[in-house]
Amino acid sequence: MTHAVFAALEEIPPSLRTREIHVVSNDTMVESPLVLTHLNMSSTAIRQAAEGLSLPMVVVRTLPDPDKTFWVLLIGKGYPSPNNQMRWCTDRLKISPTSTYIKKNIEKHSSAIVLLGVRKSESNTRLKTIEKYKDIEDTNLTPHSSLPGAFIFRPIVDLSTDDVWEILGTYSPPWGGTHRDLFQLYRDAEGGECPVVLSKDEAPGCGTNNSRFGCWTCTVVEKDRSLQGFIDSGKEVYKPLVEYRNWLVQIRNDPEYRSAIRRNGRLTFDLSGKHIPGPFTIQARREILSRLLDTQKEFGGELITGAEIEMINKIWAVEIQSQESLVDA
């Protein structure tokens, strides 16, 4: 879709290029490192080419709020690893950051047209979601379900997967280079797609077995097919990440790692009388961080930022002080 938009802009006379085009990608800060490297290279190439051709393109990257990153919530506040019943990650890491960016531009320009690269042939779930929302009469635009002032445009909605690859294989990217790296990236992984999403309806691939390029920490899926695909293709550097992710799955429901009470201080039971455990204990969180730092050292690349560790330590300090106050009382 970016290829098509870039090429279309080149064909428009400079005097008619009056609207900014924002190329928005989302970094959950726990992306597959190989995918993030490719995204960084592509974003840089698109930005430089747009500047050189005087195209009104703004290339941006959205990130979770500093207090809502995956590690700050899991290690800092003790949120249990996400699963199908408690998938707290999608909204905080993906939907909210990008939606916030779009809202700011709606406030600035009064409206925004959001181009999505979704396609009917991706899956039956995707097809049903697309057909659920009808275009405004005589237009290709659909009002966004949760962003007033935003309209959805799906330029490649009717293309098949074969169509997409044939186009990318036939035409070089208008910003220079080739799509060869993209082809290789897909060859090395397995499964479906996990695109930039703006609502839960638009994210059926995220956190499912069809998720190709999801977060490397994803514990919603039974098995991380993408990272395993990279390992199987010879990139064994990712083994420590898979082992760490699998360990997070193992300890999620271990009573030794979970507090008996919830963060609100209550002991909670479901309707059947089964106890609902609280967050990871401080001791568990310390172990999770320690193992993460060991994994980071073994991997040889940043997996958690210094700012996140600082935020985590602040949260721990407040929580420990609060617990000590209760004991004193």
Angle between helices 33-52 and 180-188 (to 10 degrees): 160
CA distances from 271 to 87, 240, 252, 262, 275 (A): 21, 39, 21, 16, 10
- State residue 235's pLDDT score: 84
Which residue is listed with tokens 């910003």? 175
Over the Cα atoms of the chain, what is R_g? Answer: 22
Q: Residue 209: what pLDDT?
A: 43
- Please answer whether residues 49 and 69 qualify as being in contact, where contact means their C-beta atoms are separated by less than 8 angstroms: no
Give the separation between CA 274 and CA 205, rounded to whole angstroms.
Answer: 31
Letter for the amino acid at 315? I
pLDDT on residue 272: 75
Strands 150-153 and 142-143: antiparallel
- Which pLDDT belongs to residue 214? 78
**pLDDT value, residue 327:** 54
pLDDT attached to residue 63: 97
Cα gap 82→86, rounded to integer Å: 6
DSSP string, 20-35: -EEEEEE--SSB-HHH
- Contact residues for 88 (Cβ-Cβ < 8 A; gap 6+): 73, 79, 82
pLDDT (tens, 9 = 90+) of the chain, 329 residues, equals 999 999 999 999 999 999 999 999 999 999 988 889 999 999 999 999 999 999 999 999 999 999 999 999 999 999 999 998 889 999 999 999 999 999 999 999 999 999 999 999 988 888 888 888 888 888 999 999 889 999 999 999 999 989 999 999 999 999 999 999 988 888 877 533 444 444 555 444 454 444 457 799 999 887 777 777 788 888 889 999 999 999 999 999 999 999 977 766 677 777 777 767 889 999 999 999 999 999 999 999 999 999 999 999 999 999 888 766 655 55
Cα 318 to chain centroid distance, Å, stands at 29
Q: How many helices (H) and strands (E) does the chain have?
A: 12, 7
Q: What residues contact 151, with CB distance under 8 A and at least 6 apart?
A: 111, 112, 113, 114, 136, 141, 142, 143, 144
Rounded Cα distance between 186 and 161, Å, is 12
Name the region of 57 (left: φ>0; alpha: ψ -120 to 50; beta: rest). beta
Q: Which residues contact 94 (CB under 8 A, 6 or more apart)?
A: 26, 28, 196, 197, 203, 206
Cα gap 259→199, rounded to integer Å: 32
Q: Which pLDDT score, from 0 to 100, does residue 276 have?
A: 73
Residues 13-35 as b or e (16 or more Cβ within 10 Å = b): eeeeeeeebbbbbbbbbbbbbbb
Q: What sign does the dihedral 135-140-144-150 (CA atoms) show?
A: negative
Side chain identity, residue 308: E
The burial of 52, by beta-carbon neighbours within 10 Å (0-12 exposed, 13-18 middle, 19 or more buried), is given as exposed
How confident is the model at residue 199, as a pLDDT?
Answer: 52
Please state the pTM of the whole predicted model: 0.85
